[in-house]
Amino acid sequence: MNKPEVTIYKIGGGIIDDAAELIKFLVLFAQTAGFKILVHGGGKGASAMMRELGLTPQLINGRRVTDATVLDIVTMFYAGKTNKQVVAELQRLGVNALGLSGADGNIIQGVKRPVKDIDYGFVGDITTASINKKLVQQLLASGLTPVLCPIIHDGNGQLLNTNADTIASAVAVALTELYTVTLHYCFEKNGVLRDINDDESVIPEINSAAYAELKAQGIIADGMLPKLENAFAALSQGVQAVIIGHALNIQTTLRTKLCLN
């Protein structure tokens, strides 16, 4: 029996910080057919509010160090303001969106990151097993569109700040048991570029063999490497396709499609 299809769209800070772009994206998202899930990241609002309150945002390797005060602020921003504005806008557009943190319905339960060299504070680590896929399935079957923010919980009453890319890929892999899954990373570029300086040089499709070759040639390097490593890890765990492209091109073929074969 064929599994039903679901697409998981992940949007990041770049589009969340631009209200006009965000609405344009949500209009396109609303028009896409079939089961879908939206995962959103943070944006700069939380850092701006910290500065207004006299706090200094601290990032190590791009990850936010989250003490109790910072956790309150990111919870307010991600689970409160951003999540509810996106949900209200999707409702306007006829999408029956339902916003969730990981605590809601225990949909994502993780663990506080163990302290090794760096204490990231209230930051959560998750695996595929962290995802309550039965609840996701039940919400989708009811005609609801889950909108996930990057705040999860540990099951012991503690909220935790988590990376939205990680949530998107964990949800994607977890759902492969029940659905044929496409994972769609939306960002500010048109896709994986053959020439980093030419935004039109998008490589339309990359399979495992082509990926190995592009790496060997040094065409895929730097910031794109971890993104694609994560994408191929998701593919090797059963995700059918990972798409990387601009948030406003989700309905076009201007994007890079990653597949195993």
Binding residues for a second copy, total number by CB under 8 A: 38
The one segment of 82-90, 190-198, 209-217, 252-260 that binds a second copy by CB under 8 A: 82-90
Please list, in sequence order, all residues whose beta carbon lies within 8 angstroms of the beta carbon of residue 21, skipping any fewer than 6 positions away.
Answer: 15, 247, 248
The whole-angstrom separation of Cα 53 and Cα 223 is 32
> Among residues 4, 34, 155, 204, which is the contact residue for a second copy, using CB under 8 A?
155
Q: Is 156 in the site for a second copy (CB under 8 A)?
A: yes
SS (H, E, C) 34-75: CEEEEEECCCCHHHHHHHHCCCCCCEECCEECECHHHHHHHH
> Among residues 10, 36, 113, 153, which is the contact residue for a second copy, using CB under 8 A?
153
> Considering only residues 87-106, where is the footprint of a second copy by CB under 8 A?
87-89, 91-92, 96-101, 103-106
> Among residues 144, 210, 219, 248, which is the contact residue for a second copy, using CB under 8 A?
144
Q: Is 137 in the site for a second copy (CB under 8 A)?
A: no
Q: Is 256 in the site for a second copy (CB under 8 A)?
A: no
Residue 159-178 contact track with a second copy, rule CB under 8 A, x = bound = x-------------------
The whole-angstrom separation of Cα 185 and Cα 11 is 7
Q: How far is the CB of 149 from a second copy (least distance, A)?
A: 9
The one segment of 80-88, 121-129, 202-210, 222-230 that binds a second copy by CB under 8 A: 80-88
Asked if residues 15 and 22 have their Cβ atoms less than 8 Å apart, the reply is yes
The one segment of 70-78, 112-120, 171-179, 214-222 that binds a second copy by CB under 8 A: 70-78
Structure tokens given for 198? 């030419």
Structure tokens given for 77? 């921003």
Q: Which residue has the tokens 């097993």?
A: 129
The whole-angstrom separation of Cα 160 and Cα 153 is 5
Neighbours of 148 (CB within 10 A): 30
Strand partners, 51: none
> Considering only residues 179-218, where is the footprint of a second copy by CB under 8 A?
none
Mark 152-164 as b/e (b = at least 16 C-beta within 10 Å): bbbeeeebbbbbb
Q: How far is the CB of 70 from a second copy (least distance, A)?
A: 12
Structure tokens given for 250? 């989700």
Residues that bind a second copy (CB under 8 A): 52-53, 72, 75-81, 83-85, 87-89, 91-92, 96-101, 103-106, 138, 142, 144, 151, 153, 155-159
